[in-house]
Amino acid sequence: MNRFSLLTAAGLLALPAAGWAQNELSNFTATGRGGVATTFASDFQAIGINPANLGRRGGALVAFTVGEAGAGVSSQALTRQQLRKFVFDTNEALTPAQKQEFARAFTSDNVANFSADATTLGLSVQLPVIGGVAVSHRLRTAGHVGLNQNAAEIAFLGREAPIYQATAAGNVPLVSEVLAGTNLQLTALSEFNVAWGTRVLDLPLLQLSAGAGYRYIQGVGIIDIRVEPGDLRAYSSLSPLFDVNYGSVTTNPSFNLKTGAGLRPVGQGHGFDVGLAAEVGKAVRLGLAVTDLGQMTWTGNLLTATDQKLKKLKSEGIGSYNFIKEAAEIFATGTDSLFEYQAGQERRANLPTKLRAGAGVRLSEYFEAGLDVTLPLNDVAGNLTAPFVGAGLDFKPTRWLRLSSGLSGGAGYGRLSVPLGLTISTSFYEAGVSTRDVVGLVASENPYLSAAAGFLRFRLGGKSE
Protein backbone atom coordinates (compact mmCIF):
# COMPACT_ATOMS: atom_id res chain seq x y z
CA MET A 1 0.00 0.00 0.00
CA ASN A 2 2.98 2.27 -0.52
CA ARG A 3 1.09 4.84 -2.57
CA PHE A 4 -0.96 5.94 0.41
CA SER A 5 1.91 8.31 1.07
CA LEU A 6 0.81 10.17 -2.07
CA LEU A 7 -2.08 11.58 -0.11
CA THR A 8 0.14 12.98 2.60
CA ALA A 9 1.82 15.02 -0.12
CA ALA A 10 -1.53 15.58 -1.87
CA GLY A 11 -0.03 13.84 -4.88
CA LEU A 12 -3.47 12.77 -5.99
CA LEU A 13 -4.25 16.39 -6.67
CA ALA A 14 -0.81 17.32 -8.00
CA LEU A 15 -0.33 19.90 -5.28
CA PRO A 16 3.28 20.91 -4.70
CA ALA A 17 4.23 20.49 -1.02
CA ALA A 18 1.04 21.94 0.43
CA GLY A 19 -0.93 21.07 3.53
CA TRP A 20 -4.69 20.58 3.78
CA ALA A 21 -7.76 22.58 4.87
CA GLN A 22 -11.57 22.74 4.62
CA ASN A 23 -13.61 23.26 1.41
CA GLU A 24 -13.58 25.55 -1.66
CA LEU A 25 -9.79 25.57 -1.37
CA SER A 26 -9.34 25.66 -5.12
CA ASN A 27 -11.00 29.10 -5.00
CA PHE A 28 -8.14 31.23 -3.68
CA THR A 29 -10.30 34.34 -3.26
CA ALA A 30 -12.76 32.44 -1.02
CA THR A 31 -9.84 30.98 0.96
CA GLY A 32 -8.59 34.50 1.65
CA ARG A 33 -11.96 35.26 3.27
CA GLY A 34 -11.84 32.08 5.37
CA GLY A 35 -14.32 30.24 3.14
CA VAL A 36 -16.96 33.00 3.13
CA ALA A 37 -18.33 32.76 -0.41
CA THR A 38 -22.12 32.30 -0.59
CA THR A 39 -22.74 35.90 -1.68
CA PHE A 40 -19.26 36.70 -3.01
CA ALA A 41 -18.79 33.87 -5.53
CA SER A 42 -19.47 34.72 -9.16
CA ASP A 43 -18.85 33.24 -12.60
CA PHE A 44 -17.54 29.64 -12.49
CA GLN A 45 -16.58 30.20 -8.82
CA ALA A 46 -20.28 29.81 -7.97
CA ILE A 47 -20.16 26.10 -8.85
CA GLY A 48 -20.61 24.05 -5.70
CA ILE A 49 -21.28 27.18 -3.63
CA ASN A 50 -24.43 28.89 -4.96
CA PRO A 51 -25.33 28.41 -8.64
CA ALA A 52 -27.93 31.19 -8.40
CA ASN A 53 -25.08 33.73 -8.41
CA LEU A 54 -24.65 32.93 -12.11
CA GLY A 55 -27.90 34.81 -12.65
CA ARG A 56 -26.57 38.06 -11.23
CA ARG A 57 -25.92 40.82 -13.73
CA GLY A 58 -22.94 43.06 -14.10
CA GLY A 59 -20.22 40.40 -14.18
CA ALA A 60 -17.98 39.27 -17.00
CA LEU A 61 -19.47 37.92 -20.20
CA VAL A 62 -16.82 35.17 -20.27
CA ALA A 63 -14.60 33.97 -17.43
CA PHE A 64 -12.21 31.05 -17.30
CA THR A 65 -9.37 29.60 -15.26
CA VAL A 66 -6.73 26.87 -15.53
CA GLY A 67 -5.03 25.20 -12.61
CA GLU A 68 -6.17 26.71 -9.30
CA ALA A 69 -5.37 24.70 -6.16
CA GLY A 70 -5.45 24.85 -2.40
CA ALA A 71 -4.87 22.57 0.55
CA GLY A 72 -4.65 22.55 4.33
CA VAL A 73 -4.55 20.50 7.52
CA SER A 74 -5.38 21.28 11.13
CA SER A 75 -4.92 19.42 14.38
CA GLN A 76 -6.06 19.80 17.97
CA ALA A 77 -3.72 17.01 19.10
CA LEU A 78 -0.34 17.94 17.59
CA THR A 79 2.07 20.85 17.73
CA ARG A 80 2.99 22.73 14.57
CA GLN A 81 6.38 20.97 14.37
CA GLN A 82 4.78 17.52 14.76
CA LEU A 83 2.10 18.29 12.18
CA ARG A 84 4.67 19.44 9.64
CA LYS A 85 6.56 16.17 10.04
CA PHE A 86 3.39 14.14 9.39
CA VAL A 87 2.93 16.15 6.18
CA PHE A 88 6.47 16.59 4.88
CA ASP A 89 8.75 14.02 6.60
CA THR A 90 6.74 10.85 6.09
CA ASN A 91 9.80 8.60 5.68
CA GLU A 92 11.29 9.52 9.07
CA ALA A 93 11.11 6.69 11.62
CA LEU A 94 9.56 7.11 15.06
CA THR A 95 11.54 6.37 18.22
CA PRO A 96 9.95 4.26 21.01
CA ALA A 97 9.54 7.46 23.06
CA GLN A 98 7.80 9.22 20.17
CA LYS A 99 5.45 6.26 19.69
CA GLN A 100 4.44 6.51 23.36
CA GLU A 101 4.02 10.27 23.02
CA PHE A 102 1.78 9.96 19.94
CA ALA A 103 -0.27 7.19 21.53
CA ARG A 104 -1.25 9.81 24.11
CA ALA A 105 -1.53 12.78 21.74
CA PHE A 106 -3.75 10.94 19.23
CA THR A 107 -6.28 10.08 21.93
CA SER A 108 -8.75 12.69 20.71
CA ASP A 109 -12.06 12.72 18.83
CA ASN A 110 -10.58 15.42 16.59
CA VAL A 111 -6.95 14.54 15.90
CA ALA A 112 -6.87 16.05 12.41
CA ASN A 113 -8.98 17.37 9.55
CA PHE A 114 -7.56 17.76 6.08
CA SER A 115 -8.65 18.40 2.51
CA ALA A 116 -7.30 19.53 -0.84
CA ASP A 117 -9.01 20.89 -3.95
CA ALA A 118 -7.74 21.50 -7.46
CA THR A 119 -9.75 23.07 -10.29
CA THR A 120 -8.10 21.98 -13.52
CA LEU A 121 -10.50 23.99 -15.70
CA GLY A 122 -13.36 26.43 -15.11
CA LEU A 123 -15.41 28.36 -17.65
CA SER A 124 -18.55 30.51 -17.50
CA VAL A 125 -20.49 32.56 -20.04
CA GLN A 126 -23.41 34.96 -19.83
CA LEU A 127 -26.05 34.32 -22.50
CA PRO A 128 -29.02 36.54 -23.43
CA VAL A 129 -32.35 35.31 -21.98
CA ILE A 130 -30.78 32.05 -20.71
CA GLY A 131 -28.58 33.54 -18.00
CA GLY A 132 -25.19 32.32 -16.79
CA VAL A 133 -23.81 28.87 -17.60
CA ALA A 134 -20.62 27.44 -16.10
CA VAL A 135 -18.61 24.21 -16.39
CA SER A 136 -15.58 22.94 -14.50
CA HIS A 137 -13.50 19.92 -13.61
CA ARG A 138 -12.32 19.56 -10.03
CA LEU A 139 -10.36 17.06 -7.94
CA ARG A 140 -11.18 16.85 -4.24
CA THR A 141 -9.91 14.92 -1.26
CA ALA A 142 -10.88 15.25 2.39
CA GLY A 143 -10.35 13.35 5.60
CA HIS A 144 -10.92 13.25 9.34
CA VAL A 145 -9.09 11.35 12.12
CA GLY A 146 -10.51 10.76 15.59
CA LEU A 147 -9.26 7.96 17.88
CA ASN A 148 -10.20 6.75 21.34
CA GLN A 149 -7.43 5.73 23.74
CA ASN A 150 -7.41 2.06 22.73
CA ALA A 151 -7.30 2.91 19.03
CA ALA A 152 -4.43 5.38 19.51
CA GLU A 153 -2.43 2.89 21.59
CA ILE A 154 -3.04 0.04 19.13
CA ALA A 155 -2.08 2.31 16.22
CA PHE A 156 1.29 3.35 17.65
CA LEU A 157 2.18 0.49 20.01
CA GLY A 158 0.80 -2.42 17.99
CA ARG A 159 0.95 -5.77 19.76
CA GLU A 160 2.35 -4.03 22.87
CA ALA A 161 -0.81 -1.95 23.39
CA PRO A 162 -2.15 -2.19 26.99
CA ILE A 163 -5.52 -3.52 25.80
CA TYR A 164 -3.88 -6.77 24.75
CA GLN A 165 -2.38 -7.25 28.20
CA ALA A 166 -5.78 -6.60 29.76
CA THR A 167 -7.38 -9.30 27.59
CA ALA A 168 -4.56 -11.84 27.84
CA ALA A 169 -6.61 -13.99 30.24
CA GLY A 170 -9.02 -14.81 27.41
CA ASN A 171 -11.92 -12.41 27.96
CA VAL A 172 -11.67 -10.83 24.49
CA PRO A 173 -14.17 -7.99 23.87
CA LEU A 174 -15.75 -6.94 20.58
CA VAL A 175 -13.98 -4.40 18.39
CA SER A 176 -16.95 -2.03 18.72
CA GLU A 177 -16.45 -2.02 22.51
CA VAL A 178 -12.70 -1.49 22.38
CA LEU A 179 -12.68 1.23 19.68
CA ALA A 180 -15.93 3.06 20.52
CA GLY A 181 -15.63 6.71 19.49
CA THR A 182 -13.11 6.10 16.72
CA ASN A 183 -13.67 7.71 13.33
CA LEU A 184 -11.42 7.50 10.27
CA GLN A 185 -12.60 8.96 6.98
CA LEU A 186 -10.97 9.67 3.64
CA THR A 187 -12.52 10.48 0.26
CA ALA A 188 -10.94 11.23 -3.11
CA LEU A 189 -13.16 12.33 -6.00
CA SER A 190 -12.89 13.59 -9.56
CA GLU A 191 -15.93 15.60 -10.63
CA PHE A 192 -17.26 17.20 -13.81
CA ASN A 193 -19.61 20.11 -13.14
CA VAL A 194 -22.20 22.15 -15.02
CA ALA A 195 -24.29 24.91 -13.43
CA TRP A 196 -26.87 27.45 -14.52
CA GLY A 197 -28.38 30.54 -12.96
CA THR A 198 -30.95 33.03 -14.19
CA ARG A 199 -32.86 36.11 -13.02
CA VAL A 200 -36.45 35.20 -12.01
CA LEU A 201 -37.57 38.50 -10.48
CA ASP A 202 -36.45 41.96 -11.49
CA LEU A 203 -37.91 44.86 -9.51
CA PRO A 204 -36.36 48.27 -8.86
CA LEU A 205 -35.29 47.39 -5.30
CA LEU A 206 -35.28 43.59 -5.43
CA GLN A 207 -33.72 41.15 -7.86
CA LEU A 208 -34.01 37.41 -7.33
CA SER A 209 -32.02 34.71 -9.10
CA ALA A 210 -32.35 30.94 -9.01
CA GLY A 211 -29.82 28.32 -10.04
CA ALA A 212 -29.04 24.63 -10.19
CA GLY A 213 -25.95 22.55 -10.71
CA TYR A 214 -25.17 18.97 -11.68
CA ARG A 215 -21.97 17.00 -11.31
CA TYR A 216 -20.88 13.60 -12.56
CA ILE A 217 -18.49 12.15 -10.01
CA GLN A 218 -15.82 9.51 -10.42
CA GLY A 219 -14.83 7.87 -7.15
CA VAL A 220 -11.06 7.53 -6.80
CA GLY A 221 -11.16 6.16 -3.26
CA ILE A 222 -12.91 6.05 0.07
CA ILE A 223 -12.23 4.79 3.59
CA ASP A 224 -15.07 5.18 6.07
CA ILE A 225 -14.67 3.69 9.55
CA ARG A 226 -17.02 4.71 12.35
CA VAL A 227 -17.23 2.86 15.65
CA GLU A 228 -19.80 3.26 18.41
CA PRO A 229 -20.58 0.89 21.31
CA GLY A 230 -22.07 -2.21 19.70
CA ASP A 231 -21.98 -0.68 16.21
CA LEU A 232 -19.09 -1.01 13.75
CA ARG A 233 -19.41 0.47 10.26
CA ALA A 234 -16.33 0.11 8.09
CA TYR A 235 -15.72 -0.13 4.37
CA SER A 236 -13.15 0.89 1.77
CA SER A 237 -12.98 1.13 -2.01
CA LEU A 238 -9.65 2.27 -3.43
CA SER A 239 -8.38 2.91 -6.94
CA PRO A 240 -5.28 1.05 -8.18
CA LEU A 241 -3.53 4.39 -7.63
CA PHE A 242 -3.19 3.36 -3.98
CA ASP A 243 -1.34 0.14 -4.90
CA VAL A 244 -3.10 -2.07 -2.33
CA ASN A 245 -2.12 -5.73 -2.04
CA TYR A 246 -5.46 -7.47 -1.49
CA GLY A 247 -3.95 -10.96 -1.18
CA SER A 248 -6.27 -13.95 -1.36
CA VAL A 249 -9.45 -11.86 -1.43
CA THR A 250 -8.89 -11.34 -5.16
CA THR A 251 -9.95 -14.98 -5.76
CA ASN A 252 -13.37 -14.30 -4.24
CA PRO A 253 -15.96 -14.14 -7.06
CA SER A 254 -17.72 -11.31 -5.17
CA PHE A 255 -14.61 -9.12 -5.35
CA ASN A 256 -14.55 -6.73 -8.32
CA LEU A 257 -10.79 -6.31 -8.72
CA LYS A 258 -9.77 -3.08 -10.45
CA THR A 259 -6.24 -2.86 -11.81
CA GLY A 260 -4.35 -0.52 -14.09
CA ALA A 261 -2.71 2.88 -13.91
CA GLY A 262 -3.83 6.43 -13.21
CA LEU A 263 -6.89 7.48 -11.23
CA ARG A 264 -8.87 4.45 -12.47
CA PRO A 265 -12.25 5.14 -10.80
CA VAL A 266 -13.76 2.52 -8.48
CA GLY A 267 -17.11 4.27 -8.07
CA GLN A 268 -19.40 6.80 -9.65
CA GLY A 269 -22.20 9.09 -8.63
CA HIS A 270 -24.36 12.09 -9.39
CA GLY A 271 -24.60 15.28 -7.38
CA PHE A 272 -26.90 18.29 -7.45
CA ASP A 273 -26.84 21.86 -6.11
CA VAL A 274 -29.75 24.30 -5.86
CA GLY A 275 -29.69 27.90 -4.76
CA LEU A 276 -31.33 31.32 -4.52
CA ALA A 277 -29.65 34.72 -4.59
CA ALA A 278 -31.24 38.08 -3.86
CA GLU A 279 -30.04 41.65 -4.32
CA VAL A 280 -31.86 44.14 -2.13
CA GLY A 281 -31.35 47.71 -3.26
CA LYS A 282 -27.86 48.37 -4.52
CA ALA A 283 -25.92 47.22 -1.46
CA VAL A 284 -27.33 44.07 0.14
CA ARG A 285 -26.88 40.55 -1.17
CA LEU A 286 -28.46 37.39 0.28
CA GLY A 287 -27.83 33.78 -0.65
CA LEU A 288 -29.17 30.33 0.25
CA ALA A 289 -28.07 27.02 -1.26
CA VAL A 290 -28.06 23.28 -0.68
CA THR A 291 -25.03 21.56 -2.19
CA ASP A 292 -23.92 17.99 -2.81
CA LEU A 293 -27.32 16.34 -2.90
CA GLY A 294 -26.99 12.84 -4.34
CA GLN A 295 -25.23 9.51 -3.94
CA MET A 296 -22.07 7.63 -4.78
CA THR A 297 -22.02 3.95 -5.70
CA TRP A 298 -18.73 2.18 -4.93
CA THR A 299 -18.12 -1.10 -6.77
CA GLY A 300 -14.38 -1.59 -7.37
CA ASN A 301 -12.01 -3.14 -4.80
CA LEU A 302 -14.82 -2.92 -2.25
CA LEU A 303 -14.29 -4.38 1.22
CA THR A 304 -16.66 -4.19 4.19
CA ALA A 305 -16.25 -5.21 7.83
CA THR A 306 -18.62 -6.19 10.62
CA ASP A 307 -18.17 -6.43 14.36
CA GLN A 308 -16.02 -9.27 15.72
CA LYS A 309 -13.72 -10.16 18.59
CA LEU A 310 -10.62 -8.00 18.93
CA LYS A 311 -7.63 -9.31 16.98
CA LYS A 312 -4.07 -8.93 18.20
CA LEU A 313 -1.78 -7.20 15.77
CA LYS A 314 1.40 -8.91 14.67
CA SER A 315 3.23 -5.64 14.08
CA GLU A 316 4.63 -3.03 16.45
CA GLY A 317 2.22 -0.41 15.10
CA ILE A 318 2.93 2.77 13.21
CA GLY A 319 6.69 3.18 12.90
CA SER A 320 7.05 6.38 10.85
CA TYR A 321 5.45 9.75 10.21
CA ASN A 322 3.57 8.25 7.25
CA PHE A 323 0.39 8.05 9.33
CA ILE A 324 -2.15 7.70 6.52
CA LYS A 325 -0.40 4.74 4.90
CA GLU A 326 0.36 2.85 8.10
CA ALA A 327 -2.96 3.61 9.81
CA ALA A 328 -4.78 2.39 6.70
CA GLU A 329 -2.89 -0.90 6.88
CA ILE A 330 -4.01 -1.34 10.51
CA PHE A 331 -7.60 -0.10 10.26
CA ALA A 332 -8.54 -0.48 6.60
CA THR A 333 -7.23 -3.07 4.16
CA GLY A 334 -3.86 -4.36 5.32
CA THR A 335 -3.08 -8.03 5.93
CA ASP A 336 -2.48 -7.17 9.61
CA SER A 337 -5.74 -5.26 9.98
CA LEU A 338 -7.82 -5.11 13.17
CA PHE A 339 -10.92 -5.91 11.12
CA GLU A 340 -12.04 -8.97 9.21
CA TYR A 341 -12.94 -7.56 5.82
CA GLN A 342 -15.21 -9.29 3.32
CA ALA A 343 -15.47 -8.72 -0.41
CA GLY A 344 -18.49 -6.70 -1.54
CA GLN A 345 -20.27 -6.06 -4.81
CA GLU A 346 -21.71 -2.59 -4.22
CA ARG A 347 -21.92 0.10 -1.56
CA ARG A 348 -24.06 3.21 -1.80
CA ALA A 349 -23.20 6.33 0.17
CA ASN A 350 -24.75 9.79 0.32
CA LEU A 351 -22.72 12.77 -0.77
CA PRO A 352 -21.65 15.24 1.96
CA THR A 353 -24.74 17.46 1.74
CA LYS A 354 -24.49 20.99 3.15
CA LEU A 355 -26.81 23.96 3.67
CA ARG A 356 -25.20 27.32 2.96
CA ALA A 357 -26.63 30.70 3.95
CA GLY A 358 -24.99 34.07 3.51
CA ALA A 359 -25.55 37.80 3.66
CA GLY A 360 -23.32 40.49 2.22
CA VAL A 361 -23.08 44.26 1.98
CA ARG A 362 -21.41 45.84 -1.02
CA LEU A 363 -20.76 49.48 -0.17
CA SER A 364 -18.84 50.21 -3.37
CA GLU A 365 -16.75 48.51 -6.01
CA TYR A 366 -13.87 48.79 -3.52
CA PHE A 367 -15.40 47.23 -0.40
CA GLU A 368 -17.65 44.24 0.31
CA ALA A 369 -18.31 42.36 3.57
CA GLY A 370 -20.27 39.18 4.21
CA LEU A 371 -21.33 36.57 6.73
CA ASP A 372 -21.63 32.85 5.96
CA VAL A 373 -23.03 29.84 7.81
CA THR A 374 -22.57 26.31 6.47
CA LEU A 375 -24.33 23.37 8.13
CA PRO A 376 -23.53 19.69 7.42
CA LEU A 377 -26.82 17.89 6.70
CA ASN A 378 -25.49 14.35 7.07
CA ASP A 379 -22.67 12.45 8.73
CA VAL A 380 -20.68 10.92 5.90
CA ALA A 381 -17.03 10.77 4.92
CA GLY A 382 -15.93 14.09 3.44
CA ASN A 383 -18.49 16.31 5.16
CA LEU A 384 -17.86 18.98 7.77
CA THR A 385 -17.69 17.54 11.27
CA ALA A 386 -19.35 20.66 12.74
CA PRO A 387 -21.12 23.83 11.49
CA PHE A 388 -18.95 26.53 9.91
CA VAL A 389 -19.43 30.25 10.61
CA GLY A 390 -17.39 32.98 8.98
CA ALA A 391 -17.25 36.73 8.40
CA GLY A 392 -15.19 37.98 5.48
CA LEU A 393 -14.38 41.13 3.59
CA ASP A 394 -12.78 42.30 0.37
CA PHE A 395 -11.07 45.69 0.19
CA LYS A 396 -9.49 47.27 -2.90
CA PRO A 397 -7.05 50.02 -1.91
CA THR A 398 -6.35 50.45 -5.61
CA ARG A 399 -8.13 49.31 -8.76
CA TRP A 400 -5.63 46.48 -9.33
CA LEU A 401 -5.13 45.15 -5.77
CA ARG A 402 -7.69 43.36 -3.60
CA LEU A 403 -7.03 42.41 0.03
CA SER A 404 -9.20 39.81 1.79
CA SER A 405 -9.53 38.80 5.42
CA GLY A 406 -12.07 38.05 8.14
CA LEU A 407 -12.76 35.60 10.95
CA SER A 408 -14.06 32.03 10.76
CA GLY A 409 -14.63 29.13 13.12
CA GLY A 410 -16.20 25.71 13.43
CA ALA A 411 -16.04 22.94 10.80
CA GLY A 412 -14.19 20.76 13.31
CA TYR A 413 -11.02 22.87 13.36
CA GLY A 414 -11.32 23.87 17.00
CA ARG A 415 -10.02 27.43 16.79
CA LEU A 416 -10.88 30.86 15.46
CA SER A 417 -9.16 31.44 12.12
CA VAL A 418 -7.87 34.70 10.67
CA PRO A 419 -7.64 34.36 6.87
CA LEU A 420 -5.57 36.56 4.59
CA GLY A 421 -5.59 36.89 0.82
CA LEU A 422 -3.85 39.05 -1.78
CA THR A 423 -5.21 39.28 -5.31
CA ILE A 424 -3.99 41.21 -8.30
CA SER A 425 -7.20 42.12 -10.14
CA THR A 426 -7.76 44.01 -13.38
CA SER A 427 -10.71 44.17 -15.75
CA PHE A 428 -9.55 40.96 -17.48
CA TYR A 429 -7.04 39.13 -15.25
CA GLU A 430 -6.72 37.83 -11.68
CA ALA A 431 -3.93 36.12 -9.77
CA GLY A 432 -3.43 35.63 -6.08
CA VAL A 433 -2.37 33.69 -3.03
CA SER A 434 -4.15 33.17 0.28
CA THR A 435 -4.28 31.23 3.52
CA ARG A 436 -7.30 30.15 5.56
CA ASP A 437 -5.53 31.06 8.84
CA VAL A 438 -2.45 33.26 9.01
CA VAL A 439 -2.19 32.71 12.80
CA GLY A 440 -2.33 28.93 12.38
CA LEU A 441 0.75 29.01 10.15
CA VAL A 442 2.91 30.02 13.11
CA ALA A 443 0.89 28.78 16.11
CA SER A 444 2.57 26.05 18.16
CA GLU A 445 -0.72 24.73 19.58
CA ASN A 446 -3.70 23.75 17.42
CA PRO A 447 -1.85 24.55 14.17
CA TYR A 448 -3.75 25.16 10.93
CA LEU A 449 -1.56 24.96 7.82
CA SER A 450 -3.31 26.10 4.65
CA ALA A 451 -2.52 27.74 1.32
CA ALA A 452 -4.26 28.40 -1.99
CA ALA A 453 -3.09 29.97 -5.23
CA GLY A 454 -4.17 30.73 -8.78
CA PHE A 455 -2.38 32.59 -11.54
CA LEU A 456 -4.44 31.95 -14.69
CA ARG A 457 -7.90 33.41 -14.10
CA PHE A 458 -9.33 35.63 -16.83
CA ARG A 459 -12.51 37.69 -17.36
CA LEU A 460 -13.59 39.12 -20.68
CA GLY A 461 -16.32 41.65 -21.54
CA GLY A 462 -16.91 42.85 -18.01
CA LYS A 463 -15.42 44.81 -15.17
CA SER A 464 -13.23 43.56 -12.32
CA GLU A 465 -15.21 42.23 -9.37
> What average pLDDT does the segment 452-465 reach?
79
> What average pLDDT does the segment 44-73 reach?
91
Single pTM value for the model: 0.85
Q: Has residue 140 got a pLDDT over 60?
A: yes
Residue 16: band (very low, low, confident or very high) from pLDDT cuts 50, 70, 90: very low
DSSP 82-107: HHHHHHH-TTPBPPHHHHHHHHHHTB
Residue 5: band (very low, low, confident or very high) from pLDDT cuts 50, 70, 90: very low
How many other C-beta atoms are found inside a 10 Å radius of the C-beta of residue 243? 12
Burial class (CB in 10 A: 0-12, 13-18, 19+), 312: middle
More confident residue, 177 or 437: 177
Round the average pLDDT of the chain to a whole number and report it: 86
User: Poorest-confidence range of 35-44, 296-305, 374-383, 424-433?
Assistant: 374-383
pLDDT number for residue 13: 31
Highest mean pLDDT (candidates 52-56, 227-231, 383-387): 52-56
> What average pLDDT does the segment 57-65 reach?
90
pLDDT number for residue 326: 85
Contact 118, 138 (CB under 8 A): yes
pLDDT number for residue 12: 34
Report the percentage of the chain scoring pLDDT > 90.
49
Q: Has residue 18 got a pLDDT over 50?
A: no
Contact 428, 458 (CB under 8 A): yes
DSSP run (H or E) holding 285: strand 284-298
pLDDT number for residue 230: 87
> What average pLDDT does the segment 138-149 reach?
90
pLDDT number for residue 22: 40
Is the torsion defined by CA of 159, 164, 169, 170 positive or negative? negative
> What average pLDDT does the segment 75-91 reach?
85
Q: Has residue 3 got a pLDDT over 50?
A: no
Q: How long is the chain?
A: 465
Q: Has residue 4 got a pLDDT over 70?
A: no
Closest CA to 397 of 424, 417, 419: 424
More confident residue, 318 or 5: 318
> What average pLDDT does the segment 411-415 reach?
65
Report the percentage of the chain scoring pLDDT > 70.
91
> What average pLDDT does the segment 348-362 reach?
93
Contact 75, 451 (CB under 8 A): no
More confident residue, 307 or 290: 290
How many other C-beta atoms are found inside a 10 Å radius of the C-beta of residue 366? 13
Contact 427, 396 (CB under 8 A): no
> What average pLDDT does the segment 273-289 reach?
95
Which residue(s) pair with 290 in the sheet?
Answer: 274, 355
> What average pLDDT does the segment 231-255 reach?
84
pLDDT number for residue 411: 73
The CA-based angle 290-377-22, given to 5 degrees, is 80
Instruction: Kindly give the interhelix angle for 323-331 and 149-157, rounded to the nearest 10 degrees.
Output: 110
> What average pLDDT does the segment 161-167 reach?
89
pLDDT number for residue 339: 83
Q: Has residue 208 got a pLDDT over 70?
A: yes
Residue 170: band (very low, low, confident or very high) from pLDDT cuts 50, 70, 90: confident
Closest CA to 192 of 130, 134, 252: 134
SS3 274: strand
Closest CA to 227 of 283, 173, 170: 173
